[in-house]
Structure formats: C-alpha cells, structure tokens
Amino acid sequence: MASGSVSSQKQHSTLLHLFAGGVAGTFGAICTCPLEVLKTRLQSSRLAIPDPPAWWWFRARKITSTSRLPEVLKVLKSILEKEGTKTLFRGLGPNLIGVAPSRAVYFACYSKAKDLLNDIFVPNTYTVHFISAGSAGFITNTLMNPVWMIKSRMQLGLQVKGSKGINTVQCARYIYQENGISGFYRGLTASYFGIFETMICFAIYERVKKWLTEPPLALSANGTNRSSPTRNFFSYMAAAAIARVLASFVGYPHEVLRTRLREEGTKYRTFSQTVHLIAQEEGFLGFYRGLCAQLIWQVPNTGIVLSTYELIVFLMKDFKD
C-alpha cells in the first residue's frame, strides 16, 4: 500500500514538472521572441560589422564582434524598415511547437535526476545540480535539435517587406531536400558543448535561489517567515538573471558556432572547421558576436521561464495539499 502511494506521488511530481516546464517555456518564448530574432541575426556571418576602436586591445583581425547596444539598435531598425514588424516574430511557430515539450522534458528530467542524485551524493550540492542539469540538457538537445534547426533557418531568412515568408512545414521540407535527415541535426555538437553553460547556470541559480528565499533573508524583522508566492517569484527571477549572466560569459561561443552551422549555403561544415574559420578570420571576438543581444534576450527569458516554473510548482503543490 505504501509502495503504491510513493509511486503515485512520484508520478504526480513528474507530471507536475512536465506541465510547469511547458507552460513556463511557452510564456517565455512569446514574451522574448523579438529579442531572440535580433540575437540570431547578430550571430550570423552575413551581418557586416565594422572594426572596433583602436583601444579595444583584443580586437579581431578582420571582422569582429560588436555586441554593443548601438549595433543591436541598427539591426532592429534595419529589420523594421526592410522587412517589417512581423519579422521580429519569425520562427515563433516552431518555437512554440518545440519550447513546450523541450522545457517540459528538461525540467522533468532535471527534477527526476535531482531526486535520484540526492540519494547518492550530499543532497542539493553543486555536484547534484551540475550532473542533473547536464543529463537533462543532453536528453533535451538530442530530442529537440530538429525543431531548433527549423527555427534558426526561419529567423535567418531575409525577406522583402510585405512579402510572404515560408512557413514551418515549407522550411522543414526544404531542409530535408537539401541535406536529408542529417540536415535537422546540424549544430547538435555545438549544443552539446552548450550543456556546460546550462550546468553552470543551474548550479548558480540553485545557490542564489536558496540564499534569497531562505533565512535570514526570508525572515521579517520580528522573526516570522515573510515568504510569499509573489516575493518568491521575484526572488526566482533575480536568481535566474544573475545565473544566466554569469553562465553566458563562459558558454556563449557555442551559440555562435551553432548558428553558423545552421546557416544555409555557407562555408561552415563541421564543428571543428567552424571553430578554426572563426578564429582565423574574425579572431577572439568572433566567438562573442551578438553577446549583448543574447543577454538582452536570454536574461529576461531565463528569468520569466524559471520564475514561472517555480511559481506553478509552488501553487500546484499547495493546491494538491
């Protein structure tokens, strides 16, 4: 009887994390889609970017990254003038198709891995969070890469203002005709390298979240617990923002590599060859093209997704109880 009760609780927990992750991912994708389009365009090799000023001591040799805000605004202005407002939401279709199951799978795997590893290692340590995030990232990237490939192609595709762009099905058909099934897995190696960034992000997030939501910060002046869903929501958002900024500086280059590998008709073929070409032609900063736009998109996206996920889990557990 007790065994059946435990099994039922574990099943409920998995479904809860699946649901919360799916809702949180969808909400975050809709809110930050225009910022993601800007980020993808800035990572592309087709964007002409001028050399940085002479004082930029580690500037690239030829084309360099200007992740500065003015460049972001120039790209935004160009999109609005030449392609129209709808372009800022290109790729939202496959994003919505993919983000709900990908976030659902990720958070369910992450939560399940934490439960298993807490029985093996010291509970809720960096080791547990690192391995949990890594295993969840590997599973999610492997399953969802075809969807993200379609999204990237749609975001990178230029079109004349007022003209009709290709839809998700047409884009998928074109990728298949061009490279077959393997075409949907371009950039997967770069995504695997990006797992390290996610591992860092979640390890930092869990630690900052604990610091913000547990005593003494969670206690009021008279010593009573003043934690609430609203306060926790903003605490989770702050923790997610801090974690994402710190992790992005370490793991960002894989984003540029992945985007280059997903471009259509370019010289980038394999992961190692792309690393060599960027280093040779663009220098160190080539690996950080679009970083400003990445942070402008990723920080609020991560904050929205993680805080929404945590809030849903909190409310649903209270509802069940």
pLDDT at 60: 40
Our measurement of the distance from residue 18's CA atom to the centroid of its chain's CA atoms, rounded to an integer in Å, reads 17
The residue assigned the tokens 């120039």 is 74
The residue assigned the tokens 């070409």 is 277
- Among 132, 140, 133, residue whose Cα is nearest residue 113: 132
**Mean pLDDT over the full length of the chain:** 81
Task: Look at 62-76, 81-95, 164-178, 306-320 and tell me which has the smallest mean pLDDT.
Answer: 62-76
Q: Confirm if 304 and 28 have CB atoms less than 8 A apart.
A: yes
Q: How many whole angstroms separate alpha carbon 147 and alpha carbon 222?
A: 52
DSSP 63-115: S----SHHHHHHHHHHHHHHT-GGGGGTTHHHHHHHHHHHHHHHHHHHHHHHH
Q: Confirm if 129 and 114 have CB atoms less than 8 A apart.
A: yes
Q: pLDDT digit string (tens) for 98-141?
A: 888 888 889 999 999 999 999 999 998 889 999 999 999 999 99
Q: Confirm if 234 and 241 have CB atoms less than 8 A apart.
A: no
Q: Confirm if 309 and 232 have CB atoms less than 8 A apart.
A: no
Cis peptide before 216 (omega within 30 of 0): yes
The mean pLDDT value for 253-257 works out to: 92
pLDDT at 54: 37
User: Half-sphere exposure of 207 toward its Cβ, with a 13 Å CA cutoff?
Assistant: 15
**3-state secondary structure at position 163:** coil
* Distance in Å from the first CA to the final CA of the chain: 20
**3-state secondary structure at position 225:** strand
Q: pLDDT digit string (tens) for 173-215?
A: 999 998 899 999 999 999 999 999 999 999 999 999 888 877 5
pLDDT at 110: 93
β partners of residue 219: 225
pLDDT at 48: 53
Q: How many whole angstroms separate alpha carbon 106 and alpha carbon 129?
A: 13
Q: How many whole angstroms separate alpha carbon 190 and alpha carbon 254?
A: 5
The residue assigned the tokens 């599973």 is 139
Rg (CA), the chain: 21
pLDDT at 114: 92
Q: How many whole angstroms separate alpha carbon 22 and alpha carbon 99?
A: 7
pLDDT at 290: 79
**Is CATH 2.30.42.10 the right assignment for the domain spanning 10-320?**
no
Residues 6 or more apart whose CB falls under 8 angstroms from that of 108 comprise: 14, 17, 18, 21
Q: pLDDT digit string (tens) for 74-100?
A: 888 888 888 888 888 887 887 787 888
pLDDT at 320: 55
